Amino acid sequence: MENAFFHFWASPWLAAAILAIVFTAAIVQVKLGMGFGLTAAPLLALIDPELVPASVLFLGLSTATWGAWSERASIHWREVTIASIARIVGVALATVILANLADRDTFTLVFGVMIGLAVLLSVAGWRLPFNSPSLVAMATVSGIMGTITSVGAPPLAIVYQDRPAAEARPTLAAFFALGCGISLAGLYLSGWADWRNFMLAIVMAPAMLAGLAVARRIGGRFDRRYRPALLAISGTAAIILIARGLA
């Protein structure tokens, strides 16, 4: 964790890169309805693996809570409850995986594989029926991926992709707000996070808030045409992280 703090206080160019990544990820989250973690996590991991997953989860918790609160009247709480219970199972499995990782190089390898899986889930075009078994299965996978990488949206996107946006967006925001909290609890209980992760999130928060503010002014100039480029960047980062983990 000392390296992550070093980037902010002793390496201004890397600090600027970190803040720029968070700023961009916040815009993506607002304009596409998801994607903060998938944009920020792999790029931050390239700079320093200790920047993920806890610090990004804190930021994801903030953006999801803001989105859920702003559309709270449209949240389907039954779906949130079912998915959150499954998320707890996924978090428990993720903490077992993390507890058995030998070192940070192994973590980098597992992280890269999980990010690659997230990209594949985002581009595969798979569809599942919208029902409780599908929701439980994908929320469990989301819990595993979200805890290890802070990227838990792609599995749930498969279930919700055919749902009306006005229903899916606030419900998913509420789920991710609770889910990020559950994942953070698992990381702290398992020793994979400490108070410095929260402090790093505080340092990065102004960039996130600036991104949220700018996203409101962009209007239609940022749309889903940019999604392939973002997925290509995340996929490339995953390949680099896997190569680092194997080196």
Instruction: Check: CB of residue 89 under 8 Å from CB of residue 216.
Output: no
Amino acid letter for position 60: G
Rounded Cα gap, residues 130 and 65, in angstroms: 24
Q: What is the pTM of this model?
A: 0.91
Per-domain boundaries in the chain = 2-246
* Conformation bin of residue 198: beta by default, left when phi > 0, alpha when psi is -120 to 50: alpha
In order along its 247 residues, the chain shows pLDDT tens digits of 556 655 565 678 888 999 999 999 988 877 766 788 999 999 999 988 888 999 999 999 998 888 889 889 999 999 999 999 999 999 999 999 999 997 888 999 999 999 999 999 988 888 899 999 999 999 999 999 999 999 999 999 899 988 988 889 889 999 999 999 999 999 999 999 999 899 999 999 999 999 989 987 876 555 566 778 888 989 999 999 999 999 8
